[in-house]
Amino acid sequence: MLATLSILSALGLASCGSDTAMGSAGAIERAGFVTPTTAGDATPDTTAPDTTAVDDPTLVAPSTTELAVDPSTTEPATTPPSLAPTTVVTLPTPVPPPPPRADEPFVELGRLEIPRIGVDTTLLQGITLTTLDQGPGHWPGTALPGQIGNVVVAGHRTSHNKVFRHVDRLLPGDEVVFTTGDGRFVYTVRETTIVTPDAMYIIDQTYAPTATLFACHPPGSTRERIVVHLDLASSEPAPASA
């Protein structure tokens, strides 16, 4: 759906099938908006910094005073309970949008099925027009189906394969199925939104297994992007090889 957002702007939205970039992809502030201040508005903070380390869990002030200890009152040392190891989750990192007609190798990632709109096709790896002209493409660097993160897929609506022509008909709860060498993963539609071509945030990665389909909108135009947001509903890992 939204042929690669940045590609969305940069590619002129491959999903639309347009070979001419529509508009320019502006810089996108990913960290939020900050209201600027004017000279004279800021009041200098003259409060002395707090150097106390007592309440800071990451700092422990060392003791330099030794106290005499009566051996007869010393309790046996106890071993502190072990703490469960902290699991650090590293989210996938999407690659920057490539030039619209950049060369990409032809790589079949798996299969994409959307029963509601009759889609059952090969899922390719890549988001340039070169790739999307042959089928829906997975944005490199975004999560793979079944993984933590956001699986981002772009496709055409009115040109070439027109695989995402009717994504606007998808309803909450409709299934989108990805089948890869890792297994079969069923996602369900959460919602559909319409965004501008520079809405790069739709490829942001998530700490839950989600997916995003995008294409040009309305059909035949690159003015906007239609975005379908999905959540993982079930997973069926591929059988272990002997």
Mean pLDDT of 1-7: 42
The model's confidence at residue 75, banded by pLDDT at 50, 70 and 90, is low
What was the pLDDT predicted at 140?
Answer: 97
Q: Per residue in 187-234, pLDDT tens?
A: 999 999 999 999 999 999 999 999 999 999 999 999 999 999 999 999
Tokens of 153: 């897929």
Tokens of 178: 């990805």
What was the pLDDT predicted at 131?
Answer: 96
Mean pLDDT of 97-103: 91
What was the pLDDT predicted at 88?
Answer: 86
Q: Please give the C-alpha separations between residue 19 and each of 11, 15, 154, 222, in angstroms, as whole numbers.
A: 8, 10, 15, 11
Query: In a 3-state reduction of DSSP, which class is residue 169?
Result: helix
The CATH class of the 6-16+107-237 domain is mainly beta
Burial label for 213, CB within 10 Å (0-12, 13-18, 19+), is: buried
Checking if the pLDDT of 170 tops 50, the result is yes
The DSSP bridge partners found for residue 65 are none
Q: Per residue in 56-65, pLDDT tens?
A: 322 333 444 4
